[in-house]
Amino acid sequence: MSGRFDGKVAVVTGSGRAGGLGEGIARRLAAEGAAVVISDIGAQADAATPGSMIGSSAEMDAIAASLPKASTFPCDVRDPDQVRALARHAADTHGSLDIWVNNAGIGYIMKPMMEVSADEWRAVIDVNLTGAWYGLQAAAEIMIAQGKGGRVVNIASQAAKSGFMHAQAYTASKHGLVGLVRSASIELGAHGITVNNVCPNHVTTGLGKWQNEHFAEVQGISVDEYLANMAARIPMGRPGMPEDTAAAVAFLCSDEAIYITGESMNVSGGEEPH
């Protein structure tokens, strides 16, 4: 790997689960020289954040210990004060804040529309959309003060472009990210800060495994059949991998992408063409 992020400092939210998408992104940025802040909620806070679906403090510490330049900072992205503290931690601990990746998300509250409670709806929107807004605002505040530009990337989804059953809140939250970057990029361009989304199709992490099992059960087929059907509709013949999304994030955070902002980049093997 090149050292194209030497001297850069990156925050990746939702990066505390071993084998998760956030960990993959953090490892790619670290491999190219960035100091990385590994951040996740750390422990269950309420019914919307079950221990089986979040990055624990122990997992965060283990991931950070395996990287050359890293620290950890627990953060519930639903709390703007915690998000601002995370941004300050990056700048104070590592000397600057250059890259912010909004990866934290809830993709495990999925059920028929008429069964979704108000609390469940709010939890998904609060993490996936409002949490990204808090991150963007906190990162931009420091980046503007530094006066050297910066990169903000949201991990959206194929669901930012298309609708899916049992995913009303999730799809709405991810569609919202498209509007967020389109507007934020207009205001932040003058400061040299780019704002973009990466929109992967299905990635079988721990969360992805749960989704496979859930939708296979809904459709009355085996997980193997569900995965075979998924691969058959993807032109490149396979679901996404964490490395695919991480590579797209690294590109958008690099100098090669200095003139790309306000975009929502598909990383779907051709499954999502618009």
Catalytic residue ranges = 170
One DSSP character per residue, the chain reads ---TTTT-EEEETT--STTSHHHHHHHHHHHTT-EEEE---BS--STTS-GGGS-BHHHHHHHHHTSSSEEE----TT-HHHHHHHHHHHHHHHS---EEEE----------GGG--HHHHHHHHIIIIIHHHHHHHHHHHHHHHHTS-EEEEEE--GGGTS--TT-HHHHHHHHHHHHHHHHHHHHHGGGTEEEEEEEE--B-SHHHHHHHHHHHHHHTS-HHHHHHHHHHTSTTSS-B-HHHHHHHHHHHHSGGGTT--S-EEEESTTS---
12, β-bridge pairs: 38, 101
